[in-house]
Structure formats: C-alpha cells, structure tokens
A and B are shown apart, each in its own frame.
Chain A
Amino acid sequence: MKNLVKKHSAVYNNFSGFLFGVGQFFEFCFRFLKNVFMPPYEFHEIKKHMDELGVKTLPIVSVTGFIIGVVLAMQSQPILARFGAESVLPAMVSLSVVRELGPVITALIFAGRVSSGIGAELGSMRVTEQIDAMEVSAIDPFRYLVVTRVIACALILPMLTLYVVFLAIFGGYLAIILTQNMSLQLYVVSVVEAIRFSDILPGVGKTFFFGFIVGIVGAFKGYNADKGTEGVGKASTTSVVLASLLILVTDTVLVKITLWIWP
C-alpha cells in the first residue's frame, strides 16, 4: 500500500512538474511577444546573430541538402521505373524537397546545432551570474539576449532552407545523370514546371515558425538553467530534444493548414 501511494505521488509530482514547465514555457513565449515589438530594436545584435548562426550551420546544411537530393533521386528512380514514370523524377524530387524534406530536415539540423548552442551559451551565462550582472546594470537581459537570438533564428532559417532546397535539387540532377541521359535544361524545365508558388510559400514559410521554435526553446532552457555546469549540459541537450519534437508537431499542424488553404 505504501509503495502504491509513493508511486502515485511520484506520478503526481512528475505530472505537476510537467504542467508547471509548460506554463513557464508559454509565459516565456508571451514575454517574448510582448518585448519583440517594443523599442529599442537591437538590429545590430540581430544581424550579428544571423551572421553567426548562418555561418555556423552552413557547412552541415550544405552537405545534408546535397545528400538529400542525391539519395531521394537514387531511391525513387527504380521505383518510378517500375511504373514507367521516370520522366516525373525531377518533379518528384523537387516537390518532395520544396514541400517537406528541405524545410523539416534543415530545421532539425538547425535545431541540433543552434538550439543546443543557445541553451549552453545562455545557461553558462546564467550559472556564472552574467545575466544577473546585466540585470543589476539596468540592462534588460531578456531583450538583449533572448529576443535578438529568437528573431535571428526565425529570419535565418528560411534563407538556409532555400539554399538547402537549391542544393538538393542540384544533387537530384547529379544522381539522375549517373543512370540516365537527361540534359540540365530539360531537368530545370521539368522542375520549374512542377513547382508552384503554393508549394514554395508554405514550404519555406513554415521554417519561419521552426526558426522561432529553435530560438525560443534554446533560450528558454538556457535562460532558466540552474545547478551549475550540470544545468548547462541539461539545458543544451533538452533544448535539442524539445525543439525537434515541437518542430515535428508544428509541421503536422502546418501541413494540415496548408492543405486546407491550397487543397
């Protein structure tokens, strides 16, 4: 009986802790939204973070983008050949990459690289009292550290996604010409004919939300880190897990909305 009560109280504690965390996260998001439109606007800091985040993630997303295109084309070619539909391969590769694979995979890689970085950076600033020092110096650390990073993430991810999409489509072409004869001109024409505005806008547009998620989750975990270096490590790892999960959940919702708007 005692064990059962203990077990139930542990479940209750975990559940109430989870709800408390969710509440804190929404409060943090609300604080961001309250601050984001209020001057002074930290354009210089936002630009600096965009530069840093872009440069930091460029090599890994370049490789990934290229490989997505190559692998997708290589995998799809024999399947389409079975149905005699090899001619739709460029359209298939480009649509898959523009609508889903490019945005989601770029966002997940971005989350792994950037969310953990922001979590660790702000976490270490928290435990070494740098955030407190800023606050005592009459500087709002939330505006300076959190708002700028989240905006930078939300703006840079769509740009990185466009770059990844381009590389993936190019990778797809290279994979196709290894096995069949297709001119670059024909490939480009097929791709351009297949992609519509209603494919690009939701595909790239949703990465704005993914970028926001990456930034806000990393910042939330880092800003609220405690328990010394252990807390910094925890902030770093949990921010990647939570950001990735939220990206996938948000993607499901946004796909549904997209299909509702552009059936």
Chain B
Amino acid sequence: MAVEMVKISHISKAFDDFVVLDDVSLSVDHGENLVVFGKSGTGKSVLLKCMVKLLVPDEGEVFIEGKNVHTLSNKELKELRKNIGFLFQSAALYDSMSVRENLAFPLIRNFYFTKKEVEAKVKRALEMVSLEHAVDKMPSELSGGMRKRIGLARSIITEPKLMLYDEPTTGLDPITTKEISRLIRDLQNQLEMTSISITHDLACAQIISDRAVVLDKGKIKYEGSLKELTASTDPFLHDFFTSDTKED
C-alpha cells in the first residue's frame, strides 16, 4: 500500500480580497512525481510555498510525512526542511557566493560533515548536473540554464526525500528544457525522491510526471495521468494543452 508523503487538506489563501487558493486538497505518495499545471496567477507557486511554510494559508493544513507543517515548532520545522529540496523559478543562487560556496552552504550549516566530505559532495552534485568546470564561478557569470542546473545541484546536495520544483524550465530554450527535464527525472530515479513540480511546460511534464493536476481559479479542476488529461475532450483542458503544444 502506498504511503502518503504530502497531504494537503482544504487549504485556502487570499491576498487582500483576491482568493488565490480555494479549498485545495491533494495528496502525493512516497516516490511519486506530481506535476501541477495551471494558468499564470492560479496559485501554483503559492501552493508550493504553503507546503514549506514560506506562506501561511488562511485555512487548511499541510502534512509532510504525517507532520502538520504549520503547527511544528521552529526546531521541528528546521528538521523537516532538511529533508526538502526547493528549486526556485529564478534558481535563487546566493549572489555573493561562488558555485562551490552555494552548494556547500546547506551542508556546512545543517550537517556535521568534514571539509573533505563537503568537497566530495559538492563535486558529486556538480557531476550530476555536468557542471564540474563551473565550481569556482560566481552566479553572475552563469547562463540561465547553468543557473538552473546549479540551483538543482544545490537542492539535491542534501539528498532530500521531497523535491519541489517551481517552474524548472521556464525561460529556457527547448533543448535545455529537455536536458533539465531529463536531469530531474534521472535524479528522481537515482535518489528515489518524491517530487512536486509546477510547470506550464508540457514537454517537461511528459518527461518527469507520474500524475498531474490542473489548477484553475484557485481550485483543482482536473486530476489524472498526463495521458488522460491531454487526451481529454473537456474544452478547458483541450484549450490548455493544445495552446501549450502550439506555443512549444
């Protein structure tokens, strides 16, 4: 029987009068890879941020490995977050640190590794994203695709159980998009992670997803395998996926 890694129960979030999430419930099993689709402004990123308590929902609860994220103490939340990786849309690399320092930062701060072990982990993470040569570069010297890869390497360096991807391929060319998507899939397989990805990108979702949901106006409108959703005759889904394909 599958065990739940993430359970989102009836969460709602509004900014002033604008309702972004409206009674959203969702669950993701251990080892499952879920993709969340939706038009811009439908609350996808807000949903992801509520999962790690970067935002606090107005109502509802989020459970990760059975723990209610929003009622944990600071210490417990810190422990939980050590098992979560988050790839931001902009990669969010620390400007003032080199690639090596960016990658080593969570290891040095949160774990008791020796200098040698940290160095070895940095090297391995960079090998996974094929950017060993960029170890001494500063973030400002990297291209968009490289930044995403380094961001990915930094997220997986602690070998988290749960990975959250906020539009991992936005702004990248089709070839880099495919490369990053394959990389995400390979990492998921290698590290046996559970993942939740937000994307507009059908090509990326086809590579990385086991299951997909579509958010619309703050609610989950559709849920199923990507094949089912793309084959659906529902006008909204048809429009959503065909326009996405055309754009690509």
A interface secondary structure, majority: helix
Asked if residues B95 and A132 are in contact (CB atoms below 8 Å), the reply is no
Number of B residues near A (Cβ < 8 Å) is: 21
Within 8 A of A (CB), among B66-83: 78-79, 81-82
Asked if residues B109 and A136 are in contact (CB atoms below 8 Å), the reply is no
Residues in B neighbouring A137, C-beta threshold 8 A: 81, 86, 105-106, 109-110, 158
The 6 closest A-B pairs by CB, nearest first: A133-B92, A138-B81, A129-B92, A136-B86, A137-B106, A138-B78
| Contact of B52 (CB < 8 Å), options: A124, A125, A128, A136 | A136
Q: How far is the CA of A129 from the CA of B92 in the complex (A)?
A: 6
Answer whether residue B222 sits at the interface, using C-beta atoms and an 8 A cutoff: no
Answer whether residue A80 sits at the interface, using C-beta atoms and an 8 A cutoff: no
- Given the known inter-chain contacts A138-B110, A139-B106, A139-B109, please indicate yes or no for A133 contacting B82, CB distance below 8 A: no
Answer whether residue B63 sits at the interface, using C-beta atoms and an 8 A cutoff: no
12 extra interchain contacts, Cβ-Cβ under 8 A, other than A130-B95, A136-B86? A125-B94, A125-B95, A132-B54, A133-B88, A134-B94, A137-B81, A137-B105, A137-B110, A137-B158, A139-B105, A139-B106, A140-B78
28 contacts between A and B (CB under 8 A): A125-B94, A125-B95, A128-B92, A128-B95, A129-B90, A129-B92, A130-B92, A130-B93, A130-B94, A132-B88, A133-B86, A133-B92, A135-B81, A136-B81, A136-B86, A137-B81, A137-B86, A137-B106, A137-B109, A137-B158, A138-B78, A138-B81, A138-B82, A138-B110, A139-B105, A139-B106, A139-B109, A139-B110
Answer whether residue B28 sits at the interface, using C-beta atoms and an 8 A cutoff: no
Q: What bracket does the count of chain A residues touching chain B fall in? A: 10 to 19
A255 to chain B, nearest CB (A): 38
How would residues 55 to 95 of chain A score, 1 for a CB under 8 Å from any chain B CB and 0 otherwise? 00000000000000000000000000000000000000000
Q: How far is the CA of A134 from the CA of B86 in the complex (A)?
A: 10
Q: How far is the CA of A128 from the CA of B92 in the complex (A)?
A: 6
Q: How far is the CA of A134 from the CA of B78 in the complex (A)?
A: 11
